[in-house]
Structures are given as C-alpha cells and as structure tokens.
Structure 1
Amino acid sequence: MSEINIGIERTGFPVKIGTIELWFDSSLENLRRFFNVNELANEKLKEAQEKAQHIHFPDNAEIESLDVKTVDAALDVNKEFIAAQYDIIFGEGSFKKIYKKHPDILALEQALEAVGIAIAKRIEEQEEERSGKVEAKKNEYLNKKSSKK
C-alpha cells in the first residue's frame, strides 16, 4: 500500500533579535496569546513578586542604602517579567536563549517594544495576504458557477 504524504507549511516568520533568530508562530491559535501578552506577562509578574515577597522593598530608600540582596531580588523580579514576555511571544525557553548570548536585561527590555511593533506590522501584512487569497478563491468559485449557467 502506498503512503499519502501531505506537507504542512508552518504559519509564521523568523524574527532576529541581536544575533539570535527565533520563530514567531502567527497561527490563529497563537495570535490570541500574542494579543494577550501583557495580561499573561502580568500573571507571571505576580508569581515572581510572590516569590520575592519575603524581601522588603523600601518605598523611598536611597539606592546607596539598599543591600545587594534587595537589589538582586528587584532585578530578578524585573528579569522574570521580561523573560515571560519573550517566552509568551516566541515560546518557552526563548528568553534564556537570547539572554545567554546578550546578557543585558535593559537592552532586551527596550527591544520588546520594537519586537511588538515589527510583529504587529507583519501580522497586518499576512492578514492582507490571507484576505487577498480568500477573495481570489471566492471570485474563482463565482466565475466557475456563472460559467456553468
């Protein structure tokens, strides 16, 4: 018996951040996650804050008076928040992959806005392409239907 093999092309596109190339899954299923990235990331932020709850963050302390442990805890909470956003957008483990090559949390945080804007623009382009294909199929069907009459 011969095998039937039907290939499936992944929906998405590569995104290069620094020297790391990641894949953005632009399937309809993943777009829901992308458009809820802030909500999902805030859930992760709450988890990170709960982990760091045992450390007291002074409301208006001078930076010089903070101990290393407190500063490290604050940086860890921020880092987990940034990591959650990258992992939500590109998949679990993406942030570790980027951070290993580019260990600069401030730069990676700033890059998030550019990433979001660039992805949103590409999603719009893909939607225009999809709409054009649907319209072409519809016209093709209508032409075939009218030529049969």
Structure 2
Amino acid sequence: MTQEVKIDIKRTGFPVKVGEVELWFDSSIENLRRFFNVEELAQEKLKEAQEKAKHIHFPDEIEHIDDIEIETVDAALDVNKEFIAAQYDIVFGDGTFKKIYEYYPDIAALEQALDPIGLAIGKRIEELEEARSEQVEAKKSEYLNKKAKKK
C-alpha cells in the first residue's frame, strides 16, 4: 500500500469586509495585475454597457424633470450600475457585486465605498510586500551564512 503525500496550499490574499459582507481579496501576482488595471478594465465594461443602451436617447440638457422618460432614467441607472458592478467583480471576482447588492441595494453607497476599499487594499498590499521582502532577506542571509560556514 502506498502512502499519500499531501502538500497544503495556502491561498494568497486576505479577507475584506464591506459592511456586513465578508469578501476575499486574492493578492496573488496574477490577480494584482487585474487590481492595478481595475479602472481600465471597468472602462471596457462601461463601453459594453453603453453599447447596450445606445438605442436610448440621453438628452444633453433637461429643462423640466417631467420631460424625462422613465426608460431613459432606468437606462442611465443601469449603465452606472453595470460600471460599478464591474469594478467590484474585477477586484473580488465575478458575482461579488450581486452578492453585495442583495445585502445593500444602494448604488450610490456602493459607489462611494469603492475608493475606501481600493485605498485599504492598497495599504494592505504594501504591508504584505514589506513582509515578503523581509522574508526574502532573511532567507538570503540564512543561505549566505550557510555558504560562509562551508568555506
């Protein structure tokens, strides 16, 4: 009978709590590339949403609130909602916005939370990078000490 070899893999990342909803931020190298390009990726999603809403005429100026059709307002809100949803989904993974929106159905509040979330994640990434640098330096020193003892 052969014995199984098991190696545990620890996910790279950390939890982020948005209101009462706990999310996971993947801080792997692969995901950090997406995180630092979130604005560019979200702009692409915005263009897609705008393409969907192209058939609706958004007035340049509004003289009377009664002149606005409800479909136009709904379409504008949908475009904005898709843009905000894209940012959450890019940062935390597909389906994240839907999860948060079910708990907090308030586009304005979720939009305002994006900057503090980004700043907090950025700060945590810097802290993790400092810790990684210290670990690398410690391993480097350990290696050099072992090498020096062999001589």
Per the TM superposition, whether the score is higher than 0.5 is yes
Q: What is the distance in 2 between the residues matched to 1:9 and 1:63?
A: 58
- Determine the structure 2 residue equivalent to 1:134: 136
- Determine the structure 1 residue equivalent to 2:78: 76
- Determine the structure 2 residue equivalent to 1:46: 47
Q: What is the distance in 2 between the residues matched to 1:23 and 1:89?
A: 9
Gaps (5+ residues) in structure 2?
A: none
Superimposed CA distance per residue, residues 99-147 of structure 1 (whole angstroms, 9 cap, x where no aligned partner): 0000000000000000000000000000000000000000000000001
SS of residue paired to 1:53 = coil
- Determine the structure 1 residue equivalent to 2:104: 102
Structure 1 ranges of 4+ moved more than 4 A: none
Superimposed CA distance per residue, residues 34-60 of structure 1 (whole angstroms, 9 cap, x where no aligned partner): 000000000000000000000000011
Q: What is the distance in 2 between the residues matched to 1:63 and 1:89?
A: 39
Q: What is the distance in 2 between the residues matched to 1:5 and 1:39?
A: 40
The verdict on how the C-alpha distance between 1:119 and 1:63 changes in structure 2, with shifts beyond 3 A counting, is farther
The verdict on how the C-alpha distance between 1:131 and 1:23 changes in structure 2, with shifts beyond 3 A counting, is same
Percent identity (aligned): 72
Q: What is the distance in 1 between the residues matched to 2:8 and 2:47?
A: 41
TM-score, reference length from structure 2: 0.97
Superimposed CA distance per residue, residues 43-102 of structure 1 (whole angstroms, 9 cap, x where no aligned partner): 000000000000000011136121111000000000000000000000000000000000
AA partner of residue 27 (structure 1): S
1:31 matched to 2:32? The reply is yes
Gaps (5+ residues) in structure 1?
A: none
- Determine the structure 2 residue equivalent to 1:55: 56
CA root-mean-square deviation = 0.7
SS of residue paired to 2:17 = strand
Aligned length: 149
TM-score, reference length from structure 1: 0.99
Q: What is the distance in 1 between the residues matched to 2:105 and 2:117?
A: 17
